[in-house]
Structure 1
Amino acid sequence: MTELLGFIAASLLIIVVPGPDLALLLGNTARSGQRAGVATAAGIMLGHAVLAAAAVAGLTALLTASEIGYAAVRLAGAFYLIHLGLKALIGFVRMRRSSAERRTAGHDARPARAVTGRTMRVCVRQGLISNLLNPKVAAFYLSLFPQFVLPGMSTTANQSTLAGVFWVLCLLWFALVLTLLARIRALLRRPGVEQGLAGVSGVSLIGLGTALALRG
């Protein structure tokens, strides 16, 4: 029980620290609404499931053991984050222009957004790719899991259990974030707040991508 509680505590510290996943989730929610946020979270959780399965199978160990492979994933992830950040900033500029045009026309209210199936698919894909291309996540699955050994379990059963616990903790965290965003939905729909979140998420994603690219 002590090992499990220690793993949960370490996992929570890692999960709640803001990173690319949270920045992407906030940006998509601000730009396209609550359903887009849920779709983004679904993509992120799918990525965690894939990486957890890869860690149990030992595939993440092969990745981190290969300097070239690790560098390739790191750079691909960095450029993808920068790409997402630039898209968020473009959306930020468009929102400002649209808001200015509405004020000029004497219409302060923003028309209700329509979230299409394509938007949902894009959000799922963004969450999935962003998570899979973050080598820090793969390294986490490799470095943290071996430090915790649950008594009476084989190596495979131990890693499978820890992977499942971590996945559930991530799910609960994103459910909490989405619930809070739903509670402040009216605030998020204010043009100034919506634009601010889009701008902050764009800058954050570009900053995280740049830092990842420059890290050796």
Structure 2
Amino acid sequence: MPSITVLWSFALVVAVLTVTPGLDTALVLRSAALGGRRRAWGVIAGIQTGTMAWGVLAAAGVSAILIASEVAYDVLRFVGAAYLVYIGGRMLWSAIRGNTSHGAEQPTTGTTDSFLGGWRQGTMTNLLNPKMGAFYVALLPQFIPAGAPQITWGIALAGVHVVLGAVWLTLLTLVAQRFRAWLSKRRVARTIDGVAGIAIVGFGARIALEGTSR
């Protein structure tokens, strides 16, 4: 098993990635503010499921094969980009329509407060992001010594990333839930949907347009 020193060093590296605002942050904040508590926890769990899966796949060498295959990488890249554009497009459509239910202050966001629904969205978003695979293929070899059990080390290192990600996203969720009454107001909700939608569509477009350079 990796030593505490190795785990701590890995934690310092992935901590920067964890707290950097990105797709995960946009999904969780939007879900916590508008989708409901259960859906937000589901998104967090799904994101960490995807992170662990990428860690295991990288340790097993599966993601290295994906990165080495231009066709496989491009297929995953375009599928992932299309999925992100679809999610972001739905948010933009919700922002444009601005439908309300249960009174003028409660927006209809097109999602249900379902843990399973949030988990599916978080998992799919993470697994369909080829950059996560590239990140782990580039990073794990720096921490796994030759001859060490690859899967065991991959699970341990990805577990560190999962813990850091879960803690950080939980803090963001608690903050968003604290101000949910204000965030759920019609005008604010439409703004959140619009900003999150643009951000997520932008992530999808960037993945699609980046080509095979990695």
Q: What's the TM-score bracket when you normalise by the shorter of the two chains?
A: 0.7 to 0.9
Matched, 1:9 2:12: yes
The match for 1:94 is: 97
User: Is 1:176 aligned to residue 160 of structure 2?
Assistant: no
Alpha-carbon shift at residue 156 of structure 1 (Å): 4.1
Q: TM-score, normalised by structure 2?
A: 0.84
* 1:63 to 2:66 alignment: yes
Tell me the equivalent position of 1:23.
26
Using the alignment, how far apart are the partners of 1:191 and 1:137 within structure 2? 35
- Paired residue type of 2:189: E
Following the alignment from structure 1 to structure 2, what is the Cα–Cα distance between the partners of residues 151 and 142?
Answer: 15
Alignment counterpart, residue 79 of structure 2, candidates 66, 76, 80: 76
Unmatched segments (≥5 aa) in structure 2: none
Structure 2 counterpart of 1:214: 209
Larger radius of gyration: 1
Equivalences for residues 110-129 of structure 1 within 5 A: 110=106, 116=112, 119-129=114-124
- How far does residue 61 in structure 1 lie from its aligned partner after superposition? 1.1
User: Structure 2 vs 1, CA of residues 84 and 152 (structure 1 numbering), >3 Å: closer, same or farther?
Assistant: same
User: What's the offset of the Cα at 1:85?
Assistant: 0.6
Instruction: Find out whether 1:41 has 2:44 as its counterpart.
Output: yes
**Sequence identity of aligned pairs in percent?**
36
* Corresponding position of 1:203: 198
Query: What's the offset of the Cα at 1:199?
Result: 0.8
Alignment CA distance shift 1:116-1:149 (3 Å): closer
Mean alpha-carbon deviation: is it higher for 155-164 or for 37-46? 155-164
Asked if structure 1 preserves the Cα contact closer than 8 Å seen for 2:51 and 2:162, the reply is yes
* Count of equivalent residues: 208
Q: How far apart are the structure 1 equivalents of 2:129 and 2:145? A: 27
Given that residues 7 and 160 in structure 2 are in contact (C-alpha distance below 8 angstroms), is that contact kept between their aligned partners in structure 1? Answer: no
Normalised TM-score (structure 1): 0.83
Corresponding letter in the other structure for 1:91:
S
Tell me which moved more, 136-145 or 44-53.
44-53
Pick closer, same or farther for the CA change 1:65–1:151 going to 2, 3 Å: closer
- What amino acid sits opposite 2:67 in the alignment? T
One-letter code of the match for 1:203? I
Which ranges in structure 1 are unaligned for 5 or more consecutive residues?
none
Q: Give how far 1:47 is off.
A: 1.5
Q: CA deviation at 1:62?
A: 1.2
Measure, in 2, the Cα distance between the counterparts of 1:109 and 1:212: 36
Of 129, 132, 151, 1:137 maps to: 132
Structure showing the higher helix proportion among its residues: 1
The whole-number CA distance in structure 1 between the counterparts of 2:177 and 2:17 is 24
